[in-house]
Structure 1
Amino acid sequence: MTTPGLSQQPPPKPSARPRSWPPPSVPPSSQRYVRTARKFPAPRRPLVVDALAAAAGLGLGISLALSIGAQTVSALNAPGGLATALGRVAGMLSGYVMVIVILLSARIPPLERALGQDRLIVWHRRLAPWGLYLLLAHAVLITVGYARAARTGILAEIGRLLWSYPGVLSASVGSTLLLAAGITSYRRARRRMKYETWWAVHLYTYLGLGLSFVHQIDTGAPFVGHPLATAWWTSLWVGALIVVLAFRVGLPLYRSVRHDLRVAQVSCVGPNTWSIVLRGRQLENLPTAGGQFMMWRFLRREMWWQAHPYSLSAAPQAGHLRITVKELGDHSTALPRLTPGTRVAFEGPYGVFTADARQSRNVLLVGAGVGTTPIRALLDDLPRDTHVVVLLRGRRPQDIAHLDEFERLITKRHGLLHTLTGPREEVRLDAPSLHALVPDIADRDVFVCGPDEFTRAVVTAAGDTGVPARHIHREDFAF
């Protein structure tokens, strides 16, 4: 049965188009979709989140106690004393919030495995502005308090602070760098910037934090003459630095050297869409699951300094990984020019958009655009007794990457494949249409990946059909 823009398919015959996975270098005897003996990600442990949240709350209490305890009644009653005290508390809280913000993006494996990188980034983005607001409050309140104490004007006090007080000028530079990173992260600003530019601006965050830390330790009232407070604050910041270096630098470097990934094959799989097969050593020991993504760094002269997130588009097979990328920017546009043998460094894998997230035997997989690639990889790892319905959205059939592989896998599983094609305004995915396509949707886990607007619409529609929120799993590409 066919309706405008909708193709409903019971398991179709395998497509006659050439298969791009497993790669041609894999012996024919291994070109079967079987679960290979490989290492999977560690189980998710929600208690990790509770323990780390408790530690963060304790750290916040200690920081507040130090900043409040440094104030005296006589200082509060002096001219400008209250503003100065509030400014110091704001500065302390700003520093603590920024440490937490950095740790949220540090890709700590147990935390990332429990919550998922996309959710951590959401928290990072929600909390980061408060660090900046507190930083601005610190600067304004300290200036007002000092001006009242010195009985001078605000502008005169700003000049005196910058040129007479040690560390204030460098701290101001650090604050400017942090504000630049924050402003460029707002949705409107970021949409007008290239990813590479935003990433480069963000690197200066670490310099800004370093300058701010030195300023606090050298001149902060809670630390001057208080060695225990200084030891606490230093251990907090140094500990955060060690965590960042370990999981953002050390672990990726170790895995990149150990697995020695190199480009094996680049092929076109659709309009402006390319499949990149990577070969490596001991990939069965890389804890990877279908549906996860990695940060990829292709070691060519014009690309080595950029790391971009791309999802696996198939589960690892016989020493190979595969990603599928649509040309959307400078980095992705350069990928088709990669040559076999190009070395690849990577971070990850990351994400909880994996088969072990399901809570029922039956699943619905929904993908659109480049979001079909993690759906394709997830399909590999679902147990064989799982009944699978796959719904793929594209403007044209040829826009759906790896459609032939979906057809073959769904045929093998005796599942059901729906392809929705046509203009967006003609093909709606609301609750009635979802229920018509998948009448038992309320009894399934729903995995959704695609553009933000599409994902939100499907998640809402699935909820309206009666799917419990805990059975709806989404993967976001907003990083």
Structure 2
Amino acid sequence: MIWATSLFVVALWIACGGVTAVLGVNAETVTTLGRLTGLVAANLLLYQVLLMARVPLFERGFGRDGITRLHRFVGFWSFWLMGAHIALLAVGYAMAAGINPLVQLWSFIWEYPGMLLATAGTLLILLVVVTSIRRARRHLRYESWHLLHLYAYLGVGLALPHQLWTGADFLSSPIATVYWWSIWALSAGSVLLFRIGMPLLRSTRRALRVAGVEADGARGVTIRVTGRDLATLGARAGQFFVWRFLDGPGWTRAHPFSLSAAPGSELTLTARVLGDGTRRLTALLPGTRVIVEGPYGEMTGERRTGTKLLMIGAGAGVAPLVSLLETEGYGPGEAMLITRESAAEDALRQEAIAHLISTRGLSYLPFIGPRSSGASSWIPATHEAWSGADLLRHLVPEPKDHDVFICGGEAWMKDLRRDLVGAGFPAHRIHSESFTI
């Protein structure tokens, strides 16, 4: 749909004489190409807003992994096209006026309607793009990155209106006018409804509050949340919510955490304490009000097609796997959980895992210690003599009977997925989900 509407925008440009203007090979050619790149960039930017709006239809249809890939792909394309739009227009107008392109760019900013707002919006979008590059992202705290990422909404809001004021292509025909105002209204309405309105309404109606906060391992915390009619949220094991705890300054910073126990009369989440945001969780008091967005995610038992289960999680990635093991059907010896931790005392959800071992016959294998220096970085150094695929075949002799659920860091899951396929596990039965953007 995104690419089809982009082609539709190009068709509107052609209908307004765009091709004829290009054929002249002069200043108008450069200016017209600038208009075209601006139109497609604006279209992609508005769909980028829709992808950030957590529209339930998209979340269910693509899953979090699919949304994440679309978000990055569409976001970077819209940014590069926006840059081309600015450069081409500055050069085209400068050629026609016989002046320096930088002088023309300065003239745009100060003399054209809405361009000061557009410049501010472009700088905000540039800030978001730079901090979304994976190398830069790794050096930012989640709280800082999240706050900066919210500026994308403000950037879009400031960058696009000038095109309605000064861009003839937006109002060139009744069809163009209807399309652009419709996509504008749809994007803004989706953000207001799905990111603000529905979470506030649903959380308030269900009176979500913290019921308990417990230490989990040496560096973890488990939080239980109660409320009215929690079943009507429709949460399933393996899914996640985006959580806000109204405990004072910083409550606006949302964090995605998976359910770490089967949803019922309570919602349970478990987090590894790493930064300021997760450290705040350890100080929550019972009765603290909670606002949630969700549930989201498709890493649920509905994706299961095999008869047996293999669960592999690293760190806090064990949380959704435990919730799935508590709800899925399997007999003694038909489910195995493998966990990865640097230190044994850091392991999460140990009481819940022990209960599953004693009552459900779960097989449990903790891998403890520093990571292997070999190609299979998901295994510990104690087992680095093995290839990852050989180790998996040794542990699970009948891979074709298993559904595999994996949860951990993005690079870790990539290595693990490669070895799972190499060991003979069917690719369509390997299920994962990533929160990384």
Aligned position for 1:334: 280
Q: Which one of 222, 227, 234 corresponds to residue 275 of structure 1?
A: 222
Give the AA of the match of 1:220: G
d(CA) in 1 for partners of 2:89 and 2:34? Answer: 5
Aligned position for 2:421: 463
- The CA RMSD over aligned residues, in Å, is 1.9
SS at match of 2:244: strand
SS at match of 1:263: strand
1:32-51, Cα deviation, whole Å (9 max, x unpaired): xxxxxxxxxxxxxxxxxxxx
Give the AA of the match of 1:315: A
d(CA) in 1 for partners of 2:56 and 2:102? Answer: 48
Give the AA of the match of 2:429: H
d(CA) in 2 for partners of 1:178 and 1:436? Answer: 49
Give the AA of the match of 1:91: G
Aligned position for 2:32: 85
Residue 371 (1) aligns with residue 317 (2): yes
| TM-score, with length taken from structure 1 | 0.84
> Residues 10-409 of structure 1 correspond to what in structure 2 (within 5 A)?
53=1, 56-71=2-17, 73=20, 77=24, 79-224=26-171, 226-317=173-264, 319-384=265-330, 387-409=334-356
Against the structure 1 CA distance between its residues 132 and 202, is the aligned structure 2 distance closer, same or farther, given a 3 Å change threshold?
Answer: same
Residue 422 (1) aligns with residue 369 (2): yes
1:266-292, Cα deviation, whole Å (9 max, x unpaired): 111201111111111111221111111
Bigger mean CA offset, 242-251 vs 304-313: 242-251
d(CA) in 1 for partners of 2:124 and 2:327? Answer: 44
1:346-375, Cα deviation, whole Å (9 max, x unpaired): 111111111111111111011111111111
d(CA) in 2 for partners of 1:103 and 1:185? Answer: 18
Does the aligned pair in 2 maintain the 1:107–1:117 contact within 8 Å?
no
Bigger mean CA offset, 428-437 vs 321-330: 428-437
SS at match of 2:160: helix
Against the structure 1 CA distance between its residues 246 and 385, is the aligned structure 2 distance closer, same or farther, given a 3 Å change threshold?
Answer: farther
Give the AA of the match of 1:200: L
Bigger mean CA offset, 433-442 vs 417-426: 417-426
Bigger mean CA offset, 405-414 vs 455-464: 405-414
d(CA) in 1 for partners of 2:21 and 2:144? Answer: 49
1:364-400, Cα deviation, whole Å (9 max, x unpaired): 0111111111111111221245921111222333322
Q: Which one of 359, 382, 404 corresponds to residue 446 of structure 1?
A: 404
Does the aligned pair in 1 maintain the 2:237–2:259 contact within 8 Å?
yes
d(CA) in 2 for partners of 1:362 and 1:223? Answer: 56
Against the structure 1 CA distance between its residues 76 and 166, is the aligned structure 2 distance closer, same or farther, given a 3 Å change threshold?
Answer: farther
Once the two structures are TM-superposed, the CA of residue 57 in structure 1 deviates from its matched residue by 4.0
Q: How many residues align?
A: 424
Does the aligned pair in 2 maintain the 1:265–1:340 contact within 8 Å?
yes
Give the AA of the match of 1:97: L
Once the two structures are TM-superposed, the CA of residue 75 in structure 1 deviates from its matched residue by 7.8
d(CA) in 2 for partners of 1:352 and 1:87? Answer: 40
Once the two structures are TM-superposed, the CA of residue 184 in structure 1 deviates from its matched residue by 1.1
1:427-472, Cα deviation, whole Å (9 max, x unpaired): 4470111111111123211111122333222211110011121110
d(CA) in 2 for partners of 1:74 and 1:109? Answer: 42
d(CA) in 2 for partners of 1:147 and 1:231? Answer: 32
d(CA) in 2 for partners of 1:373 and 1:341? Answer: 23
Does the aligned pair in 1 maintain the 2:90–2:102 contact within 8 Å?
no
d(CA) in 2 for partners of 1:207 and 1:476? Answer: 26
1:168-219, Cα deviation, whole Å (9 max, x unpaired): 2221221111111111111122222222222222222222212222111111
SS at match of 1:417: strand
SS at match of 1:305: coil
Give the AA of the match of 1:442: K
Bigger mean CA offset, 79-88 vs 104-113: 104-113
Once the two structures are TM-superposed, the CA of residue 77 in structure 1 deviates from its matched residue by 2.8
Against the structure 1 CA distance between its residues 154 and 384, is the aligned structure 2 distance closer, same or farther, given a 3 Å change threshold?
Answer: same
d(CA) in 1 for partners of 2:420 and 2:123? Answer: 44
Bigger mean CA offset, 71-80 vs 96-105: 71-80
Pick 1 or 2: higher relative contact order, CA cutoff 8 A, min separation 6: 1
Against the structure 1 CA distance between its residues 213 and 324, is the aligned structure 2 distance closer, same or farther, given a 3 Å change threshold?
Answer: same
Aligned position for 1:22: none
SS at match of 2:59: helix
d(CA) in 1 for partners of 2:201 and 2:435? Answer: 26
d(CA) in 1 for partners of 2:171 and 2:180? Answer: 12
- Any unmatched runs of 5+ in structure 2? 373-380
Give the AA of the match of 2:187: A
Against the structure 1 CA distance between its residues 452 and 62, is the aligned structure 2 distance closer, same or farther, given a 3 Å change threshold?
Answer: closer
Once the two structures are TM-superposed, the CA of residue 295 in structure 1 deviates from its matched residue by 0.6
Give the AA of the match of 1:66: L
Against the structure 1 CA distance between its residues 382 and 370, is the aligned structure 2 distance closer, same or farther, given a 3 Å change threshold?
Answer: same
d(CA) in 1 for partners of 2:214 and 2:198? Answer: 30
Against the structure 1 CA distance between its residues 114 and 228, is the aligned structure 2 distance closer, same or farther, given a 3 Å change threshold?
Answer: closer
Once the two structures are TM-superposed, the CA of residue 90 in structure 1 deviates from its matched residue by 0.1
Residue 436 (1) aligns with residue 394 (2): yes
Give the AA of the match of 2:311: L
d(CA) in 2 for partners of 1:155 and 1:196? Answer: 37
Once the two structures are TM-superposed, the CA of residue 326 in structure 1 deviates from its matched residue by 0.9
Once the two structures are TM-superposed, the CA of residue 78 in structure 1 deviates from its matched residue by 7.6
d(CA) in 1 for partners of 2:233 and 2:110? Answer: 54
